[in-house]
Amino acid sequence: MSLPFTGRRASAAVLTAALLAATAACGSDEEQNDSGAAKTELTVLAASSLTDVFKTAGAAYEKEHPGTEVTFSFAGSQELAAQVEQGAPADALVTADTRTMDGLKADTGTATVVARNRLVIATGEGNPEGIENLGDLADTRLKVVLAAPEVPVGRYSRQILAAQKIDVKPVSQEPNVRAVLSKVGLGEADAGLVYRTDAASATDKVDAIEIPDTQNAIASYPAAALKTSKNSKAAAAFVSWLSTPEAQKIFQDAGFQRP
């Protein structure tokens, strides 16, 4: 069942409480590693569509910075914003749109766009309904799922559909792009609009129908250190690293576009 957005703040409160509990369990941000040297623990709040690429990026960063451990907390960008506003203990933030980041200027350092993305139509494996383009999504016989309008991918989805004057009535509105992908992959929906990189992460469950550039939207991913971070220098270093050639190759290998 999808998460009702009337309960968004309650959900954010639960997520924030979980982060607080995790931080308390871990103790201080700086602990001792096996060699006795100080270890820095960074918590990065990141958009759901970064789940796979950040697993690779985090491992690469830790290898390059052996005294630093990076933990990611993934959710829809609107949920991440609520966590920041409620004082969740974290060090950096990466959202799937500039609008969300711009609304948090009082809480963040300077934001830098580190990657871009585009949308595709996700269908069940083998595209059993024969969906070819955005216009097909208006077929009322299809079960189409979209992310909620508060979510960046949900906003992008409605933007491109409105531009083409396509009326789609989704059977559900999901809290993040991974939930949309899951619905399609499980056969609970015939199609959904997701980021290209998310569809690429589930090729054994979904097919991706490309959307022409003239009908598509570009998603930008800004990253910034949080002003409340107890490891401000380390947080800024991680954000800066995301723009390095090494990090950019990881993004591009995962299907993201250059900033």
- For the stretch 91-125, pLDDT in tens is 999 999 999 999 999 999 999 999 999 999 999 99
Average pLDDT, the chain: 90
The CATH superfamily holding the domain 7-23+40-116+220-253 is Periplasmic binding protein-like II (3.40.190.10)
Neighbour-count burial of 132, counting CB atoms closer than 10 A to its CB (0-12 exposed, 13-18 middle, 19+ buried):
exposed
Neighbour-count burial of 115, counting CB atoms closer than 10 A to its CB (0-12 exposed, 13-18 middle, 19+ buried):
buried
Selected residue with higher pLDDT from 33 and 140:
140
pLDDT score, position 144: 98
pLDDT score, position 24: 42
- Look up tokens 């929906």; give the residue: 189
pLDDT score, position 3: 39
- For the stretch 150-177, pLDDT in tens is 999 999 999 999 999 999 999 999 999 9
Question: Given this chain, do its domains 7-23+40-116+220-253 and 117-218 carry the same CATH topology?
Answer: yes
Distances in Å between the Cα of 94 and the Cα atoms of 104, 133, 169 are: 12, 31, 30
Helix-strand-coil percent breakdown of the chain, rounded to 5? 40, 25, 35
Q: Which amino acid is at 157?
A: S
pLDDT score, position 14: 45
Q: Report whether pLDDT(139) > 90.
A: yes
Q: Report whether pLDDT(11) > 90.
A: no
Topology of domain 117-218, CATH: D-Maltodextrin-Binding Protein; domain 2 (3.40.190)
pTM for the predicted model, two decimal places: 0.84
- For the stretch 19-65, pLDDT in tens is 544 444 444 444 554 545 578 999 999 999 999 999 999 999 999 99
- For the stretch 170-219, pLDDT in tens is 999 999 999 999 999 999 999 999 999 999 999 999 999 999 999 999 99
Neighbour-count burial of 25, counting CB atoms closer than 10 A to its CB (0-12 exposed, 13-18 middle, 19+ buried):
exposed
pLDDT score, position 38: 73
pLDDT score, position 36: 52
**Per-residue confidence at 9, pLDDT binned at 50, 70, 90?**
very low
The average pLDDT across 67-88 equals: 96
The full set of domain ranges for the chain reads: 7-23+40-116+220-253, 117-218
Q: Report whether pLDDT(4) > 50.
A: no
The average pLDDT across 114-141 equals: 97
